[in-house]
Amino acid sequence: MPDILFILLLALVIFGPKRLPEIMRQVAKFLAQARMMRDDLKRQLESEIINIELEEKQKAAAVPVKQLEAPAQPAPSETMQEGSVS
């Protein structure tokens, strides 16, 4: 708290009582914009994380279905070896 009081007193001395309210409004606007940008970035990151998790769940759910539908076929290397032996 004493630090903030010192900074405000210093700003009052440097800028004067007429310009200080204007400068404080500009600082407040800047801080509000910074908070909005931070919140927007946070929402975007959370949204992307949720989308990635959903895609991973869909891929995990789709893999067993494809394995059940595809018939088991021998590997090409096994059929060549069997053919060359006989």
Q: What is the pTM of this model?
A: 0.54
Domain that holds residue 51: 11-55
d(C-alpha 61, C-alpha 63), whole Å? 6
SS3 content of the chain, % helix, strand, coil (to 5): 90, 0, 10
pLDDT in tens, 12-68: 899 888 998 999 899 999 999 999 999 999 999 999 999 999 999 998 887 765 555
Report the number of distinct structural domains present in the chain.
Answer: 1
Q: Classify residue 36: in a domain, yes or no.
A: yes
Q: Classify residue 63: in a domain, yes or no.
A: no
Q: Classify residue 76: in a domain, yes or no.
A: no
d(C-alpha 81, C-alpha 72), whole Å? 18
Q: Classify residue 79: in a domain, yes or no.
A: no
Q: Classify residue 3: in a domain, yes or no.
A: no
